[in-house]
Amino acid sequence: MARQQRRDGVQLPALGVIDIPFAAAPDLAGADRFVAPRDFIWNDTDPLDLDGHGTHVAGTIGQLTNNNIGVAGMAFNVRIMPVKVIDSLWDDILGSPFEGTDDVVARGVRYAVDNGAKVLNMSIGRSGPPAPLLQDALIYATTHGAFVSIAAGNDFEQGNPTEWPAAYANSIQGVVAVGSIGRDRQRAYYSSTGSYVELAAPGGNQRAGGTTGGILQQTFDFNFVETYVNGPARYGPPRFDIFAYQFFQGTSMAAPHVSGFAALLMQQGITSPAAVEAAMEQFSTDLGQRVAMIEYGYGLINPRASLRGMGLAK
């Protein structure tokens, strides 16, 4: 049942009982690809993406390759555990019982670790007061053998507030806060800075590079999702079974590059979260940032140099 909702000051009508089609993203799908799914927003085991952000992020980590379509993921042969801990606008319109509060996110982290996840990607965050529940969850993750990559935040031009849980990264070995660069290898204009930023990765900068300056992955065709953007007359049920390749930008796009990189290192036998972080930082590419650690941390991730430097690849 879709209820009334306000959007940009406009009252959208209630849609009543609606049928919404869903499908798995073709460039992510595969036999036994998804394991132990969990939805903490609807409290079930069917975590449907009602936004497209999570699908795009998952593509950077594990989109299929050698299939003659689309692009490739960083670690294309990983298994993916979808754990939904953030609500989107459609979740709210459809009346989801829970929101993405700190306790919900913390429960999601612990669930993923308890069900065998070894790399966690958190392309989420907030400003405001500290988040001790999330700090405890991150410590729980690393002490149970899971590496965590967190988006550093996109609020540099909004006063550059401290971002949580990213701000806990530099105090927990095996947790990394990731800033964003564009194709020019410069910090993207939106990418938050601070002493907690430890690595940089491609996140896109469309201000410098236009639309194609973003990160390309498969997600929804938003003409069929964002029916609320064209006013009440064209507002109707969304569809989540029509896909397109979309350019996104944000530290949300940078973090999964690090998550995929972590999976590559773990596949090569580096299983300690702290050791994974150390390998990334030791062999990162210096962008001239050693005097400006708050922007790039140790530098731009360099998977090839890390694998070769550790004697894991030629």
Q: How does DSSP assign 118-170, residue by residue? A: SEEEE---B-SS--HHHHHHHHHHHHTT-EEEEE--S-GGGT----BTGGGGG
Task: Tell me what pLDDT residue 7 has.
Answer: 57
Spatial CB neighbours of 306, under 8 Å, sequence gap ≥ 6:
261, 265, 279, 280, 282, 283
Judged against a pLDDT cut of 80, whether residue 313 lies above it is answered with no
Reported as a single tens digit per residue, the pLDDT across 286-302 is 887 554 678 999 999 99
Task: Tell me what pLDDT residue 289 has.
Answer: 59
Where exactly are the structural domains of the chain? 32-205+247-309
Could you tell me how far CA 225 lies from the centroid of its own chain? 20
CA–CA separation, 135 vs 155, rounded Å?
Answer: 21
Q: What is the pTM of this model?
A: 0.94
Judged against a pLDDT cut of 70, whether residue 314 lies above it is answered with no
- Angle of helix 53-62 relative to helix 251-267, nearest 10 degrees? 30
Residue with tokens 């930008």: 249
CA–CA separation, 299 vs 286, rounded Å?
Answer: 5
CATH superfamily, with its number, for domain 32-205+247-309: Peptidase S8/S53 domain (3.40.50.200)
Task: Tell me what pLDDT residue 138 has.
Answer: 98
CA–CA separation, 197 vs 204, rounded Å?
Answer: 17
Which position has the higher pLDDT, 263 or 312? Answer: 263
Grouping H, G, I as helix, E, B as strand and the rest as coil, residue 105 is helix
Cα 124-129-132 angle, rounded to 5 deg: 75
Judged against a pLDDT cut of 60, whether residue 1 lies above it is answered with no
Grouping H, G, I as helix, E, B as strand and the rest as coil, residue 44 is strand
Reported as a single tens digit per residue, the pLDDT across 179-211 is 999 999 999 999 999 999 999 999 999 999 999
Q: Is the dihedral of CA 219, 225, 228, 233 positive or negative?
A: positive
- Angle of helix 132-143 relative to helix 102-114, nearest 10 degrees? 10
Cα 23-29-33 angle, rounded to 5 deg: 125
Question: What value does the mean pLDDT take over residues 212-234?
Answer: 91
Judged against a pLDDT cut of 90, whether residue 257 lies above it is answered with yes
